[in-house]
Structure 1
Amino acid sequence: MTARQNKIVAFAALGLAGALGLAACGGGTDNAAGGQNGGASDNGGATSGALSGQLAGAGASSAEAAQAAWTQSFIALNPEAQVTYDAVGSGAGREQFLNGGVQFAGSDAALTPEEITQSANTCQGGKAFNVPVYISPIAVIYNLEGVDNLQLSPQTIAGIFSGQITKWNDPKIAADNPDATLPDLAIVPVHRSDDSGTTENFTHYLSETAGDVWTHGEVETWPVQGGQSGDGTSGLVKVVEGGNGTIGYADASKAGNLGVAKIKVGEEFVEYSPEAAAKAVELSPRAEGREEGDIVVELDRKLTDPSAYPLVLVSYLVLCDTYQDQATADLVKGYANYITSQEGQQASQEAAGNAPLTEKLSTDAKASIDKIKAAS
């Protein structure tokens, strides 16, 4: 099976009781109870006090700050509801969802058609689907004393992370940075130790833009021996922060005070921004072969428009179209509609600096979410 095509402020702790042991996506009435979804509004139908019950989700650590903002705001609107999110990584989140351990997942790589087929049991005979909820640049982060403005072409990035470029004063890095004084220092590439949608997006970028150098393909599990690793986005960032000469890749919301390289797009070196990430998504087509309502963006990594930043991820909310009971279906629908609403997208933008969904994506996502139903 081929691989899938696909700045931060502090935030408060959730302070909620864990609900990760809840039943499957269609958990029974012991796990979810509440009123009807309040219908379309600026907050996606999450009318104050209208919904109650418990939901558990797990997945991408890239969207951890966004999910914290979404859960807190949704609970403020619906005090009788509890929503938890465990940032275990995209791969583990999808696995928990497909095994019925959580009622939704967050993933930086959309479910494959095969995984959607696999979801029938979890989804009460229905199927899972993907809706985009979070658009964010992937930053090439580094910690290199004396170098504050680093520029890297895709070929150079690929050379570093494949282990072919091992010193910071390598001629290829020097060619990208003619005005920089680069040290004779070993490069320490840092990768994710867990199965990661960020890794999958990063390696997809390398494969598409520097396939002659990066020969490992688009993968979720890091394929190169050597270097150092960190568990989850925060773990990788800590490893980069802890050394000199380290370089890694992470959702830009977690870059903190680390250096962030400009990447070459066309003939210019481009700095990441939410706007440039959104532009890359706008210029990319929808994935072909998907069923109606399953919304996946086929990211174009080879864009040459310098207003776009093609090293971007789109994180998806993975949901069932059918849940076991109406209360669970209503609560999932209410939470998902809140996330994709203008208010929800503003909340995550303030917390994580991501780019809000375009009006088209938001409208299409709501149409998919509104089809969620109960099996009984």
Structure 2
Amino acid sequence: MKLSTRTRTLPIGVALAGTLALSACGAANEQGGTAGGGAGGGGEVSGTLVGAGASSQEAAMQGWRAGYTEVQPGVTVNYDPVGSGGGREQFLAGGTDFAGSDAPLDEEELAQAEERCGSAGVFELPNYISPIAVAYNLQGVDALNLSPVTLAGIFAQQITSWNDPAIAADNPDVQLPDLPITPVNRSDESGTTENFAEYLATVAPDVWTYEVSGDWPVPGGEAAQGTSGVVSAIGAGEGTIGYADLSQVEGLGVASVGVGPEFVAPTAEAAAAVVENSETLEGRGEYDFAIELARDTAESGNYPIVLISYHIGCIEYADQETATLVQDFMGYVVSADGQEAAAEAAGSAPISDTLRGQAQRAIDAITAAAG
């Protein structure tokens, strides 16, 4: 299954908020050598980076800040969790130095990226891996299994009651209430939505017949802004169900989903397993490591509703200061220390050595335009 080309109409966020004061574990080589952030290099760097994008990275950013501020107090990174679509658009328009995105650039955006970054192209680094949890609020139901077809039927609003025979078949030992189901979705364009919809379209194409995009396609239900808005809406209701990054759903019920003959709960380990069984998208740039996820896996212990959040930036920046800062910051993010900091803060799955090696190759190539 190849990722489809997506067409988006996105609002441009103009305010950059949520400032994070971040610092690196070492300086980047100014001509594109080994990145700092604990991965080598020497000397201090200072300045300000501006990023925007996926709200799913918020918790990880807190972890990166905690591990990163100790050695480079002169570096500040402003990151606005405006959402993946807004982050990509701001970056492509030249308003930020990098973007966080829960979906890779599509073909139209790749063309815009060449205008922004020049012929050297962009990097897309899968630096944050986490399960998308199917979270619910249903009194008296502490454990819930949902097969792919049942899950698609719920969010397509074809299954509208919690004691529907399809849900009961997945949960023969659970007393399900006669209560309406209230599905909760993102109101804003979202990479989390796109990942979730892509899973539904792959595993239940006869039920989920909508075009995959970052915009929720089903009318009705309840819509909320951002990850925090969805989580709040689920928690405030009864009989609600929605989707959000696992790190954000504390206190809610979390469903296990059908994978082959078993039901698998979302964990960092299960998310990492499905990524390891997936391949890099073909036909992209030398430093573009967007992944084609094996959504329809039947492998034991794999959780296929996975969110991969990317950091997207230029291989060649207009000035050396920005190139050095991006290189140094990304070097820390992909380092073992940086990934451990994110895992502790967000429950994410640390990237593999293979992904780290790929990312470091891109980071080493970051440089400034001549002249």
TM-score > 0.5 by shorter chain:
yes
Alignment map for 1:1-376 (pairs within 5 Å): 2-3=4-5, 36=29, 39=34, 43-45=38-40, 50-124=44-118, 126-376=120-370
Cα distance between partner residues in 2 of 1:196 and 1:356: 23
Cα distance between partner residues in 2 of 1:35 and 1:362: 17
Q: CA deviation at 1:116?
A: 1.8
Cα distance between partner residues in 2 of 1:84 and 1:77: 18
> Structure 2: which amino acid aligns with 1:164?
Q
Per-residue CA deviation, residues 178-209 of structure 1 (Å, 9 max, x unaligned), is: 11111111000000011000000000000000
Cα distance between partner residues in 2 of 1:113 and 1:181: 48
Q: CA deviation at 1:123?
A: 1.8
CA contact (8 A) 2:37 2:333 kept: no
C-alpha RMSD of the superposition: 2.1
Cα distance between partner residues in 2 of 1:299 and 1:190: 24
CA contact (8 A) 1:123 1:323 kept: yes
Aligned pair count reads 352
Q: CA deviation at 1:125?
A: 5.4
- Could you say which residue in structure 2 is the equivalent of 1:22? none
Deviates more, 1:221-230 or 1:34-43: 34-43
> Structure 2: which amino acid aligns with 1:371?
A
Cα distance between partner residues in 2 of 1:200 and 1:297: 14
TM-score normalized by structure 2? 0.90
Q: CA deviation at 1:17?
A: 7.7
CA contact (8 A) 1:124 1:324 kept: no
The 1:297/1:237 distance shift into structure 2, 3 A limit, reads same
Per-residue CA deviation, residues 266-319 of structure 1 (Å, 9 max, x unaligned), is: 010111110010000000111111222110110011111121111111111001
Q: CA deviation at 1:44?
A: 2.7
TM-score normalized by structure 1? 0.89
Per-residue CA deviation, residues 130-182 of structure 1 (Å, 9 max, x unaligned), is: 11101100100000011111100010110000010000011101111111111
CA contact (8 A) 1:142 1:246 kept: yes
- Structure 1 alignment gaps of length 5 or more: 5-12, 19-33
Per-residue CA deviation, residues 48-85 of structure 1 (Å, 9 max, x unaligned), is: x6111000111111111112222443332211110121
3-state DSSP class of the match of 1:121? helix
CA contact (8 A) 2:83 2:189 kept: yes
Q: Name segments (4+ residues, structure 1) moved above 6 Å.
A: none
Q: CA deviation at 1:327?
A: 1.2
Percent of pairs with identical residues: 53
